[in-house]
């Protein structure tokens, strides 16, 4: 059986680490496929929360991510085996525990069962215990009941699931292929295995909004890890909308999730057989791993350990000057640009930082980003998807997110809680009127500048996306931002001194 990806560092190679079953290497990717992902992802995380932002801000103020999970609806657990007697106790011992979530209706799954937990607001996830085989033609997973146990009474009931963690968002969910899960009625001989795997399958998608870094992590990779980490990489990823961009960009992280080749579910026509399957992923919140929901209490710091394992490849970090903490500025292009970035960098150097400007969209692989960001004591950036790289910061470091006019609630909702769970210090610097480029086009007295919250209320989401997110740059007031920098500098020195005391 094929095991590890052949080359962890082969970025961008079509089919790198994918099982080659779709007619050799000549897979054809739709023209503009990756561009399509990026078009979708011009929107940052905020836009995608727009419906709730507008529904909930009126009631809950800024805290619009609270109460993300409505009362649980456990319309789930459809045991397809209606026998009871003659269970396969032996199977249960051998089979891996698929569902690691506490209090899940699917957490103790008898053999030959399909169980779906649809109780979460964000995501559905189904588990299949037993002999699972792919049926490429119908994009189905078939469960073959153990023929020797006569009491098995498979119903014809079929579960359908789109494995993406934004089930409340109809537009994007309609772009995610639907899998059908059912108990096979014909004999297993009629559906022979082309490839037999000794690890269970987990199905996820590389589609949706994955072209955006925030979504790649928050909707895709973190949930995938949450759902499968307890299997300790003894899991096979079956990926919908598999594409070379995804495999190349996240190749290292994928090898941290699985010891096995990835299966391109839409193109691989072979019958793959597994001792069980997980379809879809859990979701614990934005860039979040909730230890209280996992049987093994894992947290986002354990996810960060995965990143450290795959990206810290031997050579020690560059020696940093102990007297000069390191500050990274995440640079943006086009919109939400920090127009006086050079001056801000000079100011930070005067305050006492070593400064690195981190250019986005320059083709730098994530491993290089990891090296730069993990060396930072402070990361500064205007709100945007690239701040997802806060996951690369070391615990104890600080994130200073700059929120342009009208953006503060969105900015906070995306990264504040994730930062705290990561053990980071989070500060938000809310730009004021004279720091915004909007003052040039609207003037200081227009409500767009003078009271963005009021301006947003009347106008709807398209306006927010166009004006505040898509049409605004900032020029930081150096006196004002200087105070933040000085405070961050003093803090970084304190943290360094504490950390050097703790180190043996
Ligand atoms: C759960 O959802 C199903 C279908 O969506 C519905 O019929 C049922 O009443 C719900 N149950 C609860 C407890 O809300
Ligand atoms: C089927 O069930 C029998 C009896 O319970 C058991 O001995 C056997 O191992 C099972 N086979 C599979 C493939 O699970
Ligand atoms: C098996 O299913 C059929 C129809 O779905 C039902 O009539 C029958 O009672 C079931 N048998 C058992 C043993 O549950
Ligand atoms: C997880 O946390 C709970 C409560 O804090 C504790 O009782 C349990 O022993 C922990 N389990 C593990 C595996 O660390
Ligand atoms: C923001 O800055 C970028 C890059 O300098 C520029 O292309 C863009 O036009 C600016 N936007 C506004 C609204 O001034």
What mean pLDDT do residues 156-181 have? 92
Residues 330, 360 contacting (CB under 8 angstroms): yes
What mean pLDDT do residues 292-310 have? 96
Tell me the CA–centroid distance for residue 326 and ligand 5, in Å: 28
**423/366 same-domain check:** yes
Per-residue pLDDT at 130: 92
169: containing domain:
85-310
Final residue in a domain of this structure, among 292, 310, 328: 310
Q: Has residue 14 been placed in a domain?
A: no
Q: Which of 23-37, 301-315, 478-492 has the lowest mean pLDDT?
A: 23-37
Tell me the CA–centroid distance for residue 211 and ligand 4, in Å: 36
CA distances from 196 to 23, 267, 270 (A): 19, 18, 11
3-state DSSP call for residue 462? helix
DSSP letter string over 249-262?
Answer: HTHHHHHHH-SS-B
How many folded domains does the chain comprise?
2
Query: What percentage of the chain exceeds 70 in pLDDT?
Result: 78
Per-residue pLDDT at 318: 57
Q: Which of 297, 298, 299, 302 to mutate to test the pocket of ligand 4 (most atoms within 8 A of CB)?
A: 297
Question: Could you identify the atom of ligand 1 that is nearest to the CA of residue 71?
Answer: 14
User: What distance in Å separates the CA atoms of residue 392 and residue 376, rounded to the nearest whole number?
Assistant: 9
pLDDT band at 96 (very low <50, low <70, confident <90, very high): confident
**274/330 same-domain check:** no
What mean pLDDT do residues 198-226 have? 96
3-state DSSP call for residue 379? strand
Q: Give me 367's structure tokens.
A: 């491993």
Examine the pLDDT at 214 and tell me if it is beyond 60. Answer: yes
**280/328 same-domain check:** no
Final residue in a domain of this structure, among 310, 334, 350: 310
| Residue closest by Cα to atom 8 of ligand 1 | 75
Examine the pLDDT at 24 and tell me if it is beyond 80. Answer: no
Q: Has residue 365 been placed in a domain?
A: yes
Tell me the CA–centroid distance for residue 39 and ligand 4, in Å: 43
Q: Has residue 62 been placed in a domain?
A: no
Which CATH number belongs to the domain containing residue 488 in this structure? 3.40.50
**264/341 same-domain check:** no
What mean pLDDT do residues 145-150 have? 65
Residue in the structure block whose two tokens are 């166009």? 466
82 lines ligand 3 (CB under 6 A): yes
Per-residue pLDDT at 504: 63
What mean pLDDT do residues 153-176 have? 87
Q: Has residue 53 been placed in a domain?
A: no
If we measure between CA atoms, which residue out of 154, 199, 207 comes closest to residue 181?
Answer: 154
Report residues whose beta carbon is within 6 angstroms of any ligand 1 atom: 73, 75
Residue in the structure block whose two tokens are 């215990």? 129
Q: Which of 64-73, 93-102, 418-427 has the highest mean pLDDT?
A: 418-427
Examine the pLDDT at 27 and tell me if it is beyond 60. Answer: no
Report residues whose beta carbon is within 6 angstroms of any ligand 2 atom: 88, 90-91, 146, 148-149
Examine the pLDDT at 222 and tell me if it is beyond 80. Answer: yes
Beta bridge partners of 329: 357, 380
| Residue closest by Cα to atom 2 of ligand 3 | 153
pLDDT band at 149 (very low <50, low <70, confident <90, very high): low
Per-residue pLDDT at 112: 85
Question: Side-chain half-sphere of 143: how many Cα atoms within 13 Å?
Answer: 33
Q: Which of 118-132, 148-162, 221-235, 448-462 has the lowest mean pLDDT?
A: 148-162
**300/261 same-domain check:** yes
Alpha helix ranges (H) inside 193-328: 213-215, 222-228, 244-249, 251-257, 300-311
pLDDT band at 445 (very low <50, low <70, confident <90, very high): very high
pLDDT band at 501 (very low <50, low <70, confident <90, very high): confident
Per-residue pLDDT at 48: 45
**379/413 same-domain check:** yes
**298/335 same-domain check:** no
Q: What is the mean pLDDT of the chain?
A: 82
**306/350 same-domain check:** no
Per-residue pLDDT at 111: 80
Per-residue pLDDT at 138: 95
What mean pLDDT do residues 384-413 have? 96
**378/439 same-domain check:** yes
Question: Could you identify the atom of ligand 5 that is nearest to the CA of residue 440?
Answer: 14
Q: Report which bound ligand comes closest to the CA of 293.
A: 4
User: What distance in Å separates the CA atoms of residue 435 and residue 449, rounded to the nearest whole number?
Assistant: 10
Phi, psi of 397 (to 5 degrees): -75, 175
Tell me the CA–centroid distance for residue 76 and ligand 1, in Å: 9
Per-residue pLDDT at 53: 36
102 lines ligand 4 (CB under 6 A): no
Per-residue pLDDT at 56: 27
Q: Which of 29-43, 423-437, 462-476 has the lowest mean pLDDT?
A: 29-43
Per-residue pLDDT at 76: 29
**477/333 same-domain check:** yes
Examine the pLDDT at 311 and tell me if it is beyond 70. Answer: yes
Cα 449 to chain centroid, rounded: 33
**206/294 same-domain check:** yes
Tell me the CA–centroid distance for residue 294 and ligand 4, in Å: 10
Q: Given the DSSP bridges, would you call strands 272-279 and 201-205 parallel, antiparallel or unpaired? A: parallel
Tell me the CA–centroid distance for residue 203 and ligand 3, in Å: 31
Question: Could you identify the atom of ligand 3 that is nearest to the CA of residue 151?
Answer: 13
Tell me the CA–centroid distance for residue 81 and ligand 3, in Å: 10
Query: What percentage of the chain exceeds 90 in pLDDT?
Result: 69
Tell me the CA–centroid distance for residue 271 and ligand 5, in Å: 52
Final residue in a domain of this structure, among 264, 286, 310: 310
| Residue closest by Cα to atom 9 of ligand 5 | 334
Per-residue pLDDT at 242: 96
User: What distance in Å separates the CA atoms of residue 57 and residue 65, rounded to the nearest whole number?
Assistant: 10
**352/291 same-domain check:** no
Per-residue pLDDT at 40: 40
Residue that wins the pLDDT comparison between 380 and 314: 380
Q: Has residue 233 been placed in a domain?
A: yes
pLDDT band at 463 (very low <50, low <70, confident <90, very high): very high
Tell me the CA–centroid distance for residue 73 and ligand 1, in Å: 6
Q: Has residue 157 been placed in a domain?
A: yes
Q: Has residue 63 been placed in a domain?
A: no
User: What distance in Å separates the CA atoms of residue 198 and residue 122, rounded to the nearest whole number?
Assistant: 30
pLDDT tens-digit series, residues 180-193: 999 998 888 889 99
3-class secondary structure per residue, 44-96: CHHHHCHHHHHHHHHHHCCCCCCCCCCCCCCCCCCCCCCCCCCCCHHHHHHCC
């Amino acid at each position: 059986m094929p095991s590890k990806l052949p080359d962890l560092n082969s970025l961008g190679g079509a089919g790198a680490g994918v099982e080659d079953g779709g007619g050799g290497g000549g897979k054809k990717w739709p023209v503009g496929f990756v561009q399509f992902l990026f078009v979708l992802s011009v929107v940052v995380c905020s836009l995608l929360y727009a419906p709730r932002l507008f529904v909930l801000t009126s009631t809950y103020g800024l805290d619009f991510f609270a109460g993300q999970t409505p009362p649980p609806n456990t319309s789930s657990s459809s045991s397809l085996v209606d026998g009871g007697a003659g269970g396969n106790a032996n199977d249960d011992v051998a089979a891996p525990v698929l569902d690691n979530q506490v209090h899940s209706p699917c957490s103790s799954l008898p053999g030959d069962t399909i169980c779906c937990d649809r109780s979460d607001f964000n995501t559905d996830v189904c588990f299949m215990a037993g002999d699972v085989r792919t049926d490429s033609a119908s994009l189905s997973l078939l469960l073959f009941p153990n023929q020797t146990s006569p009491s098995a009474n498979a119903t014809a009931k079929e579960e359908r699931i789109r494995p993406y963690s934004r089930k409340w968002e109809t537009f994007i969910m309609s772009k995610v292929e639907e899998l059908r899960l059912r108990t096979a009625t014909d004999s297993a001989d009629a559906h022979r295995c082309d490839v037999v795997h000794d690890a269970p399958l987990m199905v996820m998608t590389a589609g949706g909004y994955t072209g955006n870094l925030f979504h790649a992590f928050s909707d895709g990779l973190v949930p995938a890890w949450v759902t499968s980490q307890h299997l300790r990489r003894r899991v096979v990823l079956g990926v919908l909308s598999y594409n070379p961009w995804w495999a190349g960009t996240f190749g290292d992280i994928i090898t941290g999730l699985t010891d096995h080749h990835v299966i391109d579910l839409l193109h691989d026509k072979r019958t793959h057989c597994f001792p069980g399957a997980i379809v879809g992923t859990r979701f614990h919140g934005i860039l979040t791993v909730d230890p209280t929901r996992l049987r093994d209490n894992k947290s986002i710091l354990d996810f960060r350990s995965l990143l450290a394992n795959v990206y810290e490849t031997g050579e020690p970090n560059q020696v940093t000057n102990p007297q000069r903490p390191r500050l990274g500025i995440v640079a943006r292009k086009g919109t939400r640009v920090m127009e006086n970035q050079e001056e801000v960098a000079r100011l930070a150097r005067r305050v006492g930082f070593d400064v690195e400007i981190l250019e986005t969209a320059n083709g730098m692989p994530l491993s290089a980003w990891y090296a730069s960001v993990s060396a930072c004591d402070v990361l500064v950036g205007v709100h945007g998807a690239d701040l997802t790289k806060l996951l690369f910061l070391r615990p104890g470091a600080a994130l200073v997110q700059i929120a342009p006019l009208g953006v503060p609630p969105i900015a906070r909702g995306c990264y504040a809680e994730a930062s705290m769970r990561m053990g980071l210090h989070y500060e938000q610097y809310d730009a004021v009127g004279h720091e915004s480029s909007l003052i040039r086009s609207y003037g200081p007295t227009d409500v767009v500048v003078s009271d963005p919250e009021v301006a947003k209320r009347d106008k709807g989401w398209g306006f927010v996306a166009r004006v505040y997110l898509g049409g605004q740059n900032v020029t930081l007031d150096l006196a004002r931002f200087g105070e933040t920098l000085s405070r961050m500098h003093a803090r970084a020195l304190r943290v360094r001194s504490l950390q050097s005391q703790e180190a043996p």
